[in-house]
Amino acid sequence: MAWRHYPLRFRLLSPLHVGYRKVGNLMQTRPYIPGKPLWAALTARLTLEPHSNPQRKDYKAIGDRLQKYFRFGYLWPSLDGETPYFWWEHEDFEYVFLGSYVSTALDYGRMAAEEGSLHEIEFISPYTRDGGLPVYLVGDLWVQEDELSGSKGLESWQEALGRIQLGGERGYGWGRVQLLPLERGRRGQGLTVTGFRWQEQANEIIIKIFKGDCLPAHAVASPEVKVIGPLEPLVGWERADESSGRVWELSEPRIVYAPGARADKDLQLVVSKSWGLLEAVEAGSGGQ
- In the chain the domains, ranked by start, together with CATH numbers, are 1-185 (3.30.70), 196-288 (no CATH)
Residue 92 has pLDDT above 60, yes or no: yes
- Give the whole-number percent of the chain exceeding pLDDT 70: 87
pLDDT at 177: 98
Secondary structure (3-state) at 209? strand
pLDDT at 243: 66
CB neighbours (10 Å) of residue 81? Answer: 14
**What pTM does this model have?**
0.90
- What is the mean predicted confidence (pLDDT) over 66-79? 96
Rounded Cα distance between 278 and 255, Å, is: 12
Helices 56-69/35-48 angle, 10° precision: 130
For residue 286, name the pLDDT band (cuts at 50, 70, 90).
very low
The string of pLDDT tens digits covering residues 162-217 is 999 999 999 999 999 999 999 988 899 999 999 999 999 999 999 999 999 999 99
Rounded Cα distance between 42 and 143, Å, is: 13
Residue 288 has pLDDT above 50, yes or no: no
Angstrom CA distances, 7 to 28, 140, 200, stand at: 28, 5, 16
CB 98 within 8 A of CB 125: yes
Rounded Cα distance between 217 and 77, Å, is: 14
Q: Residue 148: what are its φ and ψ, rounded to 5°?
A: -75, -25
Tell me the longest C-alpha to C-alpha distance in the chain: 67
Of the ranges 11-25, 102-116, 221-235, 241-255, which one carries the lowest mean pLDDT score?
Answer: 102-116
